[in-house]
Amino acid sequence: MKPRLAPAATVTGRVGENVPRPDGVLKVQGGFPYSSDLQVDRMLWGATVRSPHPYARILSIDTSEALAAPGVRAVLTHEDVPGKRVYGLEIPDQPVLAFDVVRYWGEAVALVAADHPELARRAAQKVHVQYQVLAPLTDPEQALLADAPRLHPDGNVTRHVKIRHGNQDARAEVVVTGEYEVGMQDQAPLGPESGLAVPDEEGGVDLFIATQWLHVDREQLAGVLGLPPDRVRLTMAGIGGAFGAREDLSMQAHACMLALRSGRPVKISYSRPESFVGHVHRHPGRLRYEHGANRDGKLVYVRARIVLDGGAYASSSTAVIANASCFAVGPYRCPNATIDGWVVYTNNPPCGAMRGFGSVQNCYAHEAQMDKLAEALGMDPVELRTRNALETGSQMITGQVIDGPVPVAELLRRIKERPLPAASDPGSLDLTTQPGGVSNTTHGESVRRGVGYAVGFKNVGYSEGFNDYSTARVKLSVVGGRPRVEVHTAAAEVGQGLVTVQAQIAGTELGVTDVVVLNADTRVGSSGSSSASRQTYITGGAVKAACDAVRRRVLALAELELGRKTGKTDGLRLERDSVVSADGREIVSLTTLLGDEVIEETHEFRPRQTTRLDPETGQANAHVQYAFAAHRAVVDVDTELGLVKVVELATAQDVGKAINPQAVEGQLEGGAAQGLGLAVMEEIQLKDGVIRNASFTDYLLPTILDMPPLRMDVLELGDPHSPYGLKGVGEPPTISSGPAIVAAIRAATGRPITRVPVRPHDIVET
Amino acid sequence: MKVSCSVNGQVLVADDVWEGESLLYVLRERFGLYGSKNACEQGECGSCSVYLDGVLVCACLVLGGQVNGREILTVEGLSHRTALHPVQTAFVEAGAVQCGFCTPGLVVAAHDLLRRVPDPTEAQIREALAGNICRCTGYAKIIDAVQLAAGRMSG
Ligand code: FES
Ligand code: FES
């Protein structure tokens, strides 16, 4: 029994072209099946019983009333977990269903499956859990104290990253210090966490799911379900955005357990409020910095203490804090650095991956510090940044020497030289151009303009020795009289355009017009996650490698045939659905050459190896590739009401090679919007561990009225190590956009602004 | 209760609709029209936008029971088999679709705008689509798409 999934569409296009996405036509018609749209006969609906307390001991769970409720087919608690009771991406510390204690508000405690979603929700309310409420530990600084209650057996420190680079006692002529705070951001993908589990006859299960990484889900699920991995088959369903929110398990194990228990297909689809507790968030952070520089503006040292709140469970916290620490100084040369990055357990909602992954929090701090330093030196802030900009061959504070293009100074030059937008017109009747918008709070009175700059960077791909690879299967055959390439990987199309990119690469490498990318599933090897801006590089690399192997076999075949006839086989290529000679003449069509032959190759691709950070000094070649972007923001601020209108954003980013330029632009635009969100709008409001705004009514996302025009410079400087010279694109736009906006608000108001998102009372003098 | 209504020109009937079921639920789970999306079910994101008697509404805010005898047009009703509406074509071509979860709602809202204002200014586009949240695109290409569609429809 299978739900309807999106059919594979044919794509035609080459690397470097604006090829439209093959799923676009279905998506604009409303016909694209997302994971929340799946349905099969006899399907049940699952609902989750969640903890109303951030920290409590579970005294008892009584499911009898729920079991007796109408339409209920199964009720499960931790006692029903067939295999491992805990899971986790890095550290298996998160209960599938809570046992003994709950550690955050909204933690899953029990499950119900029923005939109708409302029956399931009502029955969930009839699961009676008795708690002994404990005082929640919600302040990450407190969690670090020796006498703090220990939330996990190994204590509250999930990881402490130490970077000790150069002279630890360095002194400088000019010193600036600052403390900064970043609020908790939600990825808020529009598609809710959802999926459908279908039991088979033999105790195994098929899961149709929207996830960023099928294979790591399967690995965790097999453990939880106590099944061998081949009895847990995952198939990708349509994904309504991800941004890190789909890296951890949410409802996967729950749906599978309910399906296996009830013997019926079970669908779980979270509501928006539930989604806010159903996935991890961006870590809130507190960052204390000291920058020392010479009078000429050269950085002498940076000392930083970064504390990220990891919430109740580890998720990917250990990797996030590594990034926050490695990139703590920003894309600058800094001979001496002392960085301490901590990520700790608290009773707040768990935090993990979100676009930018640790490089977002520190960018607010290091860029604020650079502006402060510029002011102390009486120097232009862009000039100060340029003087310290990383270059090819520079050493990071981790000791790694960066090779390939490092265009930090060039990116800054581009955004600086772009003409500024016209001053706002106080007589304009278009209120949407004013801070406060159609609320009609100002017609220009007390509105001041500010301009701010920021630059940031991060790694592309996994780091610290993690085994980064992707697998691709490529098949060339003749279908209906035409050559056709089928590409099969397990990589997640989260909206970024990966399906198109895979097809473009195959079309380019094999010179074939019709390329079909099969839906991702676990029948092919792992592609790793759609995260860390890595898929075009790593899965793109795997598709290219598999195509190379297919091409070699096709050309060998051609040489065999032709060699017999003409003896001339030098420089044969694949183009226009044919084998062509070195000068481009068609030698033989693929249709003729292949006949019934099917050429299939499966290949893995690995980027260069990285190494783990030294535990005492943080020195290592920890990262594969670095991607850079810079932003300039222009804002109008109503200084009396503290309202902000972002007037314009400008960005410059090196993408190495734009495989699909239109999709690249989409990443730059969408990423900047999420940066703007964190800068001035988006924050999960917590009070004593409880989320106060778990809805789109109260958690404010940027709308089309909030997003200004984005002026773009896309540089294609070519990385010597990557396929086609490409660089990861997705995350850099989210890193420096927000800090540029905050810098612009500071410039407009003269206020220090040390916390994001910026609130009216941070701007208005009180 | 029994609900009978015209959806995309066809009379559809649902039996045993609960009092609490939204039009969105009825469309999706009873009529199998999953094009209208369920991103917030609170009237905040516009991903469930449909026409009810010719008026743009959030299907999540309308009760199933309210639509008895009325006319509904959903995103599925904007195209005829494989012939896309110009708004739909423009969304694909302009790159206004990424994950696409916001897209059906935006397509319906943009369709409604161009019906009322055939040649909208950028400010009018922004105002008309302010109730539709897109988390992926940053909206630039959505504005491009509406302008592209407007140009083609009037040209
Ligand atoms: S789902 Fe109806 S407005 Fe969001
Ligand atoms: S394209 Fe993903 S929400 Fe708009």
User: What are A131-145's pLDDT values in tens digits?
Assistant: 999 999 999 999 999
Using the mean position of ligand 1's atoms as its centre, give its distance from the Cα of residue A206 in Å. Answer: 30
Is B138 close to A710, i.e. CB distance below 8 A? yes
- What CATH number is attached to the domain comprising A62? 3.90.1170.50
Give A32's pLDDT tier (boundaries 50, 70, 90).
very high
Substitution site in B23, B40, B129, B133 for ligand 1 pocket (most atoms within 8 Å of beta carbon): B40
| A208 close to A38: Cβ distance less than 8 angstroms | yes
Residue A193: inside a domain:
no
- Distance (Å, rounded) from C-alpha A50 to C-alpha A124? 9
Shared domain for A230 and A101, answered yes or no, is yes
Percentage of chain A modeled with pLDDT above 70: 99
Shared domain for A117 and A207, answered yes or no, is yes
Q: Which residues of A touch B135 (CB under 8 A)?
A: 187-190, 241, 243, 670, 673-674, 701
Instruction: Name the residue range of residue A479's domain.
Output: 470-605
Using the mean position of ligand 2's atoms as its centre, give its distance from the Cα of residue A618 in Å. Answer: 38
Residue A142: inside a domain:
no
Q: What CATH code would you report for B3-76?
A: 3.10.20.30
Give A565's pLDDT tier (boundaries 50, 70, 90).
low
pLDDT for the residue A567: 61
Closest residue to atom 4 of ligand 2, CA basis: B134
Collapsed DSSP state (helix, strand, coil) of residue A658: coil
Using the mean position of ligand 1's atoms as its centre, give its distance from the Cα of residue A584 in Å. Answer: 54
Rounded average pLDDT over A89-114: 98
**Half-sphere exposure at residue B9, Cβ-oriented, CA atoms within 13 angstroms:** 6
Does A118 contact chain B (CB < 8 Å)? yes
Q: Which two tokens stand for residue A56?
A: 């409590």
Q: Which residues of A touch B76 (CB under 8 A)?
A: 29-31
Q: Which residues of A touch B45 (CB under 8 A)?
A: 190, 696
| Cα end-to-end distance, chain B, whole Å | 47
Does A584 contact chain B (CB < 8 Å)? no
The residues that bridge with A479 in the sheet, in sequence order, are: A482
Substitution site in B25, B36, B48, B106 for ligand 1 pocket (most atoms within 8 Å of beta carbon): B48
| A163 close to A397: Cβ distance less than 8 angstroms | yes
Collapsed DSSP state (helix, strand, coil) of residue A501: helix
Using the mean position of ligand 2's atoms as its centre, give its distance from the Cα of residue A630 in Å. Answer: 24
Flag whether pLDDT at A766 surpasses 70.
Answer: no
Residue A531: inside a domain:
yes
Is A495 close to B76, i.e. CB distance below 8 A? no
Q: Which residues of B touch A187 (CB under 8 A)?
A: 135
- Distance (Å, rounded) from C-alpha A744 to C-alpha A435? 14
Is A240 close to B103, i.e. CB distance below 8 A? no
Shared domain for A346 and A397, answered yes or no, is yes
Element spanning A374, H or E: helix A359-377
Nearest CA distance, B31 vs chain A (angstrom): 12
Q: Where are the beta strands (DSSP E) in A543-670?
A: 573-575, 578-580, 586-589, 599-605, 625-638, 643-654
Shared domain for A383 and A508, answered yes or no, is no
Q: Which chain B residue lies closest to A271 (C-alpha atoms)?
A: B40
Shared domain for A524 and A428, answered yes or no, is no
Residue B34: C-alpha distances to residues A38, A216, B11, B68, B97 (Å): 9, 29, 17, 20, 17
DSSP annotation of A475:
E
Nearest to A524 by CA among A242, A212, A235, A211: A235
| A731 close to A458: Cβ distance less than 8 angstroms | yes
Q: Which residues of B touch A497 (CB under 8 A)?
A: 98
Shared domain for A111 and A89, answered yes or no, is yes
Flag whether pLDDT at A318 surpasses 80.
Answer: yes
- What CATH number is attached to the domain comprising A623? 3.30.365.10
Is B76 close to A695, i.e. CB distance below 8 A? no
Q: Which residues line ligand 2 (CB under 6 A)?
A: A 190, 241, 495; B 97-102, 134-137
Which atom of ligand 2 has the smallest separation from the CA of B96?
A: 1
Q: Which two tokens stand for residue B133?
A: 């949240």
Does A248 contact chain B (CB < 8 Å)? no
Q: Which two tokens stand for residue A93?
A: 């510390």
The CATH architecture that domain B86-154 belongs to is Orthogonal Bundle (1.10)
pLDDT for the residue A425: 76
pLDDT for the residue A568: 66
Residues with Cβ within 8 Å of A720's Cβ and at least 6 positions away in sequence, in order, are A403, A404
Shared domain for A656 and A737, answered yes or no, is yes
Residue A215: inside a domain:
yes
Shared domain for A649 and A675, answered yes or no, is yes
Flag whether pLDDT at A417 surpasses 90.
Answer: yes
Using the mean position of ligand 2's atoms as its centre, give its distance from the Cα of residue A351 in Å. Answer: 23
Is B38 close to A269, i.e. CB distance below 8 A? yes
Closest residue to atom 2 of ligand 2, CA basis: B99
The residues that bridge with A448 in the sheet, in sequence order, are: A637
Does A27 contact chain B (CB < 8 Å)? yes
The residues that bridge with A75 in the sheet, in sequence order, are: A112
Q: Where do we find the tokens 């996967």? A: A252
Q: What is the pLDDT of residues A595-630, one digit of tens each?
A: 999 999 999 999 999 999 999 999 999 999 999 999
A143-174 burial, b at 16+ Cβ within 10 Å, e below that, comes to beeeebeebeeeebebbebebbbeeeebebee
Flag whether pLDDT at A285 surpasses 80.
Answer: yes
- Domain count for chain A: 3
How big is chain A, counted in residues?
766
pLDDT for the residue B14: 97
Nearest to A504 by CA among A544, A562, A558, A449: A544
Q: Which alpha helices (H) appear in A6-151, and where do they start and end?
A: 24-29, 64-68, 117-124, 140-143
- What is the mean pLDDT, run by run of 10 residues, along chain B of 155 residues? 97 94 97 98 97 98 97 95 92 98 98 98 96 98 98 90
pLDDT for the residue A429: 72
Count of CB atoms situated within 10 Å of the CB of A493: 27
Is B97 close to A28, i.e. CB distance below 8 A? yes
DSSP annotation of A569:
-
Domain boundary among A605, A627, A656: A605
Can you say how many angstroms the Cα of residue A701 is from the centroid of all Cα atoms in its chain?
17
Give A569's pLDDT tier (boundaries 50, 70, 90).
low
| A203 close to A260: Cβ distance less than 8 angstroms | yes
Using the mean position of ligand 2's atoms as its centre, give its distance from the Cα of residue B103 in Å. Answer: 7
Give A430's pLDDT tier (boundaries 50, 70, 90).
confident
Nearest CA distance, B69 vs chain A (angstrom): 24
pLDDT for the residue A570: 77
Q: What is the pLDDT of residues A337-367, one digit of tens each?
A: 999 999 999 999 999 999 999 999 999 999 9
Count of CB atoms situated within 10 Å of the CB of A141: 13
Residue A173: inside a domain:
no
Can you say how many angstroms the Cα of residue B137 is from the centroid of all Cα atoms in its chain?
18
Q: Is the CB of B46 under 6 A from ligand 1?
A: yes
pLDDT for the residue A427: 72
Can you say how many angstroms the Cα of residue A34 is from the centroid of all Cα atoms in its chain?
19
Rounded average pLDDT over A34-45: 97
Q: Which two tokens stand for residue A36?
A: 């929340």
Nearest to A298 by CA among A140, A168, A465, A172: A172
Q: Where do we find the tokens 């649902």? A: B14
Domain boundary among A579, A605, A631: A605
Flag whether pLDDT at A735 surpasses 90.
Answer: yes
Q: Where do we find the tokens 């635009």? A: A669
Q: 3-state secondary structure string, A240-285? A: CCCCCCCCCCCCHHHHHHHHHHHCCCEEEECCHHHHHHHCCEECCE
Interface-testing mutation among A11, A25, A26, A28, with chain B (most B C-beta atoms within 10 A): A28
Which has the minimum average pLDDT: A310-324, A525-539, A589-603, B79-93?
Answer: B79-93
Residues with Cβ within 8 Å of A595's Cβ and at least 6 positions away in sequence, in order, are A478
- Distance (Å, rounded) from C-alpha A124 to C-alpha A110? 8
Shared domain for A428 and A521, answered yes or no, is no
| Cα end-to-end distance, chain A, whole Å | 63
Give A566's pLDDT tier (boundaries 50, 70, 90).
low
Collapsed DSSP state (helix, strand, coil) of residue A62: strand
Is B139 close to A37, i.e. CB distance below 8 A? no
Shared domain for A710 and A727, answered yes or no, is yes
Residues with Cβ within 8 Å of A374's Cβ and at least 6 positions away in sequence, in order, are A297, A380, A381, A383, A384
| A54 close to A689: Cβ distance less than 8 angstroms | yes
Q: Which two tokens stand for residue A237?
A: 């369903």
Give A469's pLDDT tier (boundaries 50, 70, 90).
very high
Hey, do B3-76 and B86-154 end up sharing a CATH topology, with the first three levels equal?
no
- Distance (Å, rounded) from C-alpha A495 to C-alpha A303? 39
pLDDT for the residue A571: 87
Mean pLDDT over the full length of chain A:
97
**What are the residue ranges spanned by the domains of chain B?**
3-76, 86-154
- Distance (Å, rounded) from C-alpha A39 to C-alpha A707? 36
pLDDT for the residue A439: 87
Q: Which residues of B touch A24 (CB under 8 A)?
A: 91-92, 97, 100
Phi, psi at A365, each rounded to 5°: -75, -50
Phi, psi at A673, each rounded to 5°: -65, -40
Residue A401: inside a domain:
yes
- Distance (Å, rounded) from C-alpha B124 to C-alpha A704? 11
ipTM: 0.98
Cis amide linkage into residue A140, ω under 30° from 0: no
Letter for the amino acid at A690?
V
Residue A142, exposed/middle/buried by CB under 10 A (0-12, 13-18, 19+)?
middle
Shared domain for A576 and A631, answered yes or no, is no
Residue A181: inside a domain:
no
**Half-sphere exposure at residue A412, Cβ-oriented, CA atoms within 13 angstroms:** 25
pLDDT for the residue A431: 85
| A287 close to A304: Cβ distance less than 8 angstroms | yes
Residue A400: C-alpha distances to residues A22, A169, A327, A331, A612 (Å): 40, 21, 12, 13, 12
The bridge status of strand A157-165 relative to strand A72-76 is unpaired
The residues that bridge with A343 in the sheet, in sequence order, are: A159, A308
Is B95 close to A430, i.e. CB distance below 8 A? no
| A46 close to A255: Cβ distance less than 8 angstroms | yes
Residue A224: inside a domain:
yes
| A101 close to A56: Cβ distance less than 8 angstroms | yes
Give A1's pLDDT tier (boundaries 50, 70, 90).
confident
Shared domain for A485 and A578, answered yes or no, is yes
